[in-house]
Structure formats: structure tokens, C-alpha cells
Structure 1
């Protein structure tokens, strides 16, 4: 990858990638954040490292918020490539139009659509539903970003929509009764336990960790909402697959 001569917030570096993680696996993970313009992975001792150039700065910031997520067997670390001074809230905030998301449109819960139109929380719910273990500390940082830089009414609408959708699907497909089955299918229980155990010491013993620990308490209901939304999305896909006529194209 050719490094830009001018500093840009769209370029991030990713470290602590498992040595056996395939580039396409890593690319698929970060595609949830937004469109990727350029991508490079190389060996880094016993691990791998990567450079990712996104098409938007919001996609890059979303990727940074995913630092410490579990990708296969390693907790990846994500940070901006360039040390750019923080923008003021007014300049850093995405416009209201960029944060609008339609909670009813389940067909948009796969990579390839315009992720810049979604809240960070929305993207994290999609990652959870695809089997990635983010950990509550990662979710809390995403929720804080939405509250800090998002349009507050839009963010609240998203969580209200989650609860409305979950109630509807629970009544129609008994989502709550399938919760354990869904969690086992996407490996959430085992992965989340591993993430929580490895994050506990960091949360307790570092200033940053203590701040995030406070965010977990502050946003506990919304963190729970994201886990429930992930289960609902999996249930939606399962029921759609089961309703397809035999022999129908995938």
C-alpha cells in the first residue's frame, strides 16, 4: 500500500492479528465499518499487522472503536495511522443525515450497503449477529460515540426501534425461547466469556479501563439491547432461510 503524503483520518493500522487469520477474514470483518479503498496485511513477528484505507473518516473511526474485538483467536488492536489532533465536536460530528438508520430493514444488515448511514451501535449489532465477540467494553465505546457525536433523537430512536422489533419478532417467532440455541449457533456464550475474562484485568487496572468500566454501567441497558438485537437478526435470517421453497436459490 502506498502511504498518503498528506495526513488523513481514513487510514488505520491493525495489530495483534492472529498469524493464521486469512486476509479475506479480516477484510470481511472491517467491511462492516464501511467501504474499503485499500488493504494490506503482512507478518509481524508471531502475529500479523494490517493497514486499511477506508473511503470515509467515519468508517475509520468505527474501526478504531472495534479495538480489542476478538477476530478468530486474537484480540485485535486498531488505531489511526496518523496522529491527527482531535477535531472539535462540531467538526467531528457526522451530520444528522449520515446517522439515519432504518431498524426495520433487515436486508441492510450485511456488508455491501452504505454503512455510513448507520450508527456505530447498529454496525456493532450486525457484527455480533455474524458471530464476532466484541465484548461489553467495545460496545460501550461505540454507544458513547453515538451519544457524543450522533443526533441524540436519532440514537434514541434506534434503541426504541430495537425494543419494538424484538417484541414483534418474539411474538411471531418466539425469539426468547430460541435465545440459547441462537447463542450456541454463533458462539456468543463461549466467545463473550473469553472476551470478558481477558478484559477484566484491563478494566480494573488502567485509567482507560476504569473509564470504560464506568461506561458499561452507564450504558448497561443499551448494551443489553445490542445483544438482543444480534439474537433477533440471527433469528430473522434463520426464519427467512426456513421459509424459502425447497431448491430455491440461496
Structure 2
């Protein structure tokens, strides 16, 4: 049983989960954000709701940024369980902005991350994690991607974020020449039914973008980060194509 009496920035609540969604499916989705320490799923009327306790504040914040992503047939909603909970860094005297920057910084050089079983996702930008989710067949929508990119730009390590997008463009060019990623990506989308899912998600998102104050703000972010959004979608296609090629190679070898 998750302790909800002691405030922590590591705990999120997830609502509007389809009643048919299995716990394993939800765990797999949020595992992209970082290590899950505890997890509870229960019925909530016609839907389900969940409490997820992550091992790090960054993982929890990344999960919040995935609110409105499409998991199976429902656009889930993700919120911090405790609002305005100070992180450990803030308790030590850091400002909220400084604490957020520390939580999202590249920790690849720390001794903790080098230990076996360390939280590898803490080394990645939120954009990186979102690209991995897209490549695994999840539909996030431009509005979710825009929020993740904005967060990276605000609190990420600037050089790390810029290097990531530069690397995307370089990788896509190399892989497209070698494996014709664009053609294979289109085939992959059709096989997975992603094109129809993306259209449905886009229609719902457009309604939200035009008819709510928050949506209108995010609409501005989409325009601001249009190139990066395109980069993330291209990176997702490249990653999916790489996996497909690896699977075919392994199958041929056996």
C-alpha cells in the first residue's frame, strides 16, 4: 500500500484509464519514464485510476508531461499527487527552477548511475523518452511532445538538448541512406494501425487546442517547436526501423 500521508514529488496519480487496460500495459508505458517503486491500480467508475510511486522526481515529472497521451483507447490524465511538494534540492535551499534543473540534468557521470541497476532513464532528456515511446507504438500527439520539448528547453542541460536534436538529424540521414527508413516506417505504421490511431488522437487534440485556454497555450508551443516535433517523429520512425532490421537479422541468423 502506497503511503499517501507523507508528501513526496515522486508520486503521481493517473486517471481516465480504460477499464480494459491491464496493469502490465500501464507499467510498461510508465517504465519509459524511470524506475517504478510501487504501483496501485483500481476501478474508478467507467474507468480505472492508478497511483505510481517512482524512484526519482525526474521520472514522476516526465510522467506528468505524458498527460493526454493515448494508452489503448483512452487519453490518460497524469498529475502530481501532492501539489507544490518541495523536492530534496529545494529543502536544501535551491529555488524551484534550480531544483528542476538538477532533477533533469544528465547524471551519466555520477557514481550512482554507474552502479548496476542504476536508473538509466535519468540520463535522457524528456524528448528522448518520448521518442522511444513513439517508436514503441504509443500515440502521444503534438501537444504532448510540445510540452516535453518546452520542459527540456527550460530545465534541461542546454548542450545536452541541442546535441540530442543534432544527433537525430545526423542519424536519420545516415540510416535513411542505408535502410530507406522513410519507406519502412510507413509500412510499420500501417501494420501497427498507427495511422488511424494518430488521426483519432489528432482530431481530439485539435478540439482541445482550439477550445481551452491551456490548449491555446500549447498550440503556441507546437508552432514554436514544430521542427523539434518533426525531429522526434522522425527519430521514432528510425528507432522502429532499427528494431525491425535487428529482428529480421536475428531471425535470419537463427
Shared fold, TM over 0.5: yes
Unaligned runs of 5+ in 2: 87-94, 110-117
Deviations 1:84-129 (A, max 9, x none): 257521122136752669xxxxxxxxxx961111000000000000
Aligned to 1:57: 57
For 2:99 and 2:251, how far apart are their aligned partners in 1? 50
For 1:44 and 1:66, how far apart are their aligned partners in 2? 20
For 2:126 and 2:36, how far apart are their aligned partners in 1? 17
Residue 155 (str. 1) matches residue 174 (str. 2): no
For 1:146 and 1:210, how far apart are their aligned partners in 2? 20
For 1:82 and 1:175, how far apart are their aligned partners in 2? 43
- Where does 1:1-250 land on structure 2 (aligned, <5 Å)? 1-84=1-84, 88-94=96-102, 98=106, 114-244=120-250, 246=252, 248=254
Tell me the number of residue pairs that the alignment of Structure 1 and Structure 2 aligns.
238
For 1:209 and 1:96, how far apart are their aligned partners in 2? 25
For 1:96 and 1:71, how far apart are their aligned partners in 2? 25
The answer as to whether partners of 2:146 and 2:222 remain within 8 angstroms in 1 is: yes
| SS of equivalent residue, structure 1 residue 203 | helix
| SS of equivalent residue, structure 1 residue 244 | helix
Q: Structure 1 97/89 Cα, relative in aligned 2: closer, same or farther at 3 Å?
A: closer
For 1:139 and 1:23, how far apart are their aligned partners in 2? 24
Divergent runs of 4+, >6 A: none
| SS of equivalent residue, structure 1 residue 124 | helix
The answer as to whether partners of 1:16 and 1:49 remain within 8 angstroms in 2 is: yes
Deviations 1:181-222 (A, max 9, x none): 022133331111111111112111211111100000000011
* Mean Cα deviation higher: 50-59 or 86-95: 86-95
Q: Structure 1 191/245 Cα, relative in aligned 2: closer, same or farther at 3 Å?
A: closer
For 1:14 and 1:245, how far apart are their aligned partners in 2? 38
The answer as to whether partners of 1:11 and 1:60 remain within 8 angstroms in 2 is: yes
| SS of equivalent residue, structure 2 residue 41 | strand
The answer as to whether partners of 1:129 and 1:186 remain within 8 angstroms in 2 is: no
Unaligned runs of 5+ in 1: 102-111
Q: Structure 1 97/78 Cα, relative in aligned 2: closer, same or farther at 3 Å?
A: closer
TM-score, normalised relative to structure 1: 0.90
Cα root mean square deviation, aligned: 1.9
TM-score, normalised relative to structure 2: 0.89
